[in-house]
Amino acid sequence: MSASPRTRVRVRARHRHNGWGYLFLAPWLVGFFLLVLGPMAASLALSFTDFNLFDPPKWIGLDNYRQAFFDDERFWNALRVTFTYVFASVPARLAFALAVAMLLNRGVRGLRVYRAVYYLPSLLGGSVAIAVLWRQLFGSDGLLNHFLSWFGADTGHSWIADPDTSLLTMIVLAAWQFGSPMIIFLAGLRQIPQELYEAAELDGAGPIARFRAVTLPLLSPLIFFNLLLQVIGAFQAFTPAYVVSNGTGGPSDSTLFYTLYLYEEGFTQFHMGYASALAWVLFAVIAVFSAIAFLSSKYWVHYADVRS
């Protein structure tokens, strides 16, 4: 080796430099490898086994997946419930978020207060308290029934405990928590140059045309971002169903969200191998939907810096 001592020192110094960088990254790296990547790899391996938490896992190949797809009514039901939830709650939430953001963007006085107030439900969103509140609102003695009784309607019906309406109450709950996409939309709306609206107005565009021709296209990157985030989040919804149905996914499995079923299989019935397989199926489902969103995005998402 003919490198001069000087270079060697410099190289070593740079390595030492990197070392410090890794050291500062360590908390995140340790968390990532120990708490994310490791368990993920383990769960993939476990998904091919029969594992009850206590006895050593037994390799059974694809049996878990076979059972889920061909021999498990509740798996299909959980998928049906979850898909219904995702496809109803995400558009509802985004529409609400956009509508409220547009209202707030019209220069209302006390914007900060409104913004905070509308954001509040999202802060409490995943919390047990809100789910408990939902029981109070939609239970047989709940506020909704009291409200309906002013109009002479029948009041004994429990909205959360009737399989026909229980999922609907969860969707309403989700739509109500529109705070975080709203904040993002609001930020996006403020980025849209006012001149574009003025130009559109000069061209004779009414409010609806302005919304379709200016707001939507310019907001589309944020709509895409929100859509992706919300779809991924909605597929993994757990707390509301767990608390509102008392951990059962009931009545009659009408709120058996996929993650709730997974939890029940894994931690109540101790079918840990099966639960791992369920988790990977969900992973695949989310991956497919994310891929669809990305692939379709070039047809409807307009980035300001890209000319189409």
CB under 8 A: which stretch of 110-118, 160-168, 194-202, 216-224 binds another protein? 160-168
- Identify whether the C-beta of residue 221 lies closer than 8 Å to the C-beta of residue 134: no
CB under 8 A: which stretch of 167-175, 204-212, 222-230, 268-276 binds another protein? 268-276
User: Any contact of residue 162 with another protein (CB under 8 A)?
Assistant: yes
Between 140 and 290, name the residue whose CB sits nearer to another protein.
Answer: 140
Measure CA 162 to chain center. 25
**Minimum distance between the CB of residue 162 and another protein, rounded to whole angstroms?**
5
Residue from the set 7, 127, 246, 296 that interacts with another protein by CB under 8 A: 246
Q: Per-residue x/- marks for another protein, 108-147, CB under 8 A?
A: ---------------------------x---xx-------
- How far apart are alpha carbons 190 and 187 in whole angstroms? 5
Residue 304 Ramachandran class (φ > 0 left, ψ -120 to 50 alpha, else beta): alpha
Rg (CA), the chain: 25
Between 29 and 95, name the residue whose CB sits nearer to another protein.
Answer: 29
Bridge partners, residue 58, by sequence? 50
Instruction: Calculate the alpha carbon distances from 92 to 47, 66, 207, 213, 227 in Å.
Output: 35, 35, 22, 22, 11
Residue 212 three-state SS: helix
Residue from the set 267, 294, 300, 303 that interacts with another protein by CB under 8 A: 267
The sign one gets for the Cα dihedral 78, 81, 86, 87 is positive
- How far apart are alpha carbons 122 and 100 in whole angstroms? 14
User: Any contact of residue 252 with another protein (CB under 8 A)?
Assistant: yes
Q: Per-residue x/- marks for another protein, 185-224, CB under 8 A?
A: ----------------------------------------
Residue from the set 77, 84, 155, 158 that interacts with another protein by CB under 8 A: 158
Between 20 and 299, name the residue whose CB sits nearer to another protein.
Answer: 20
CB under 8 A: which stretch of 41-49, 100-108, 246-254, 287-295 binds another protein? 246-254
Alpha helix positions (H), the chain: 5-31, 38-46, 63-70, 73-104, 111-124, 128-138, 143-149, 166-176, 179-191, 194-202, 207-210, 216-235, 239-244, 258-263, 272-300
Binding site for another protein (CB under 8 A): 23, 27, 30, 52-55, 135, 139-140, 156-158, 160-163, 245-248, 250-253, 267-270
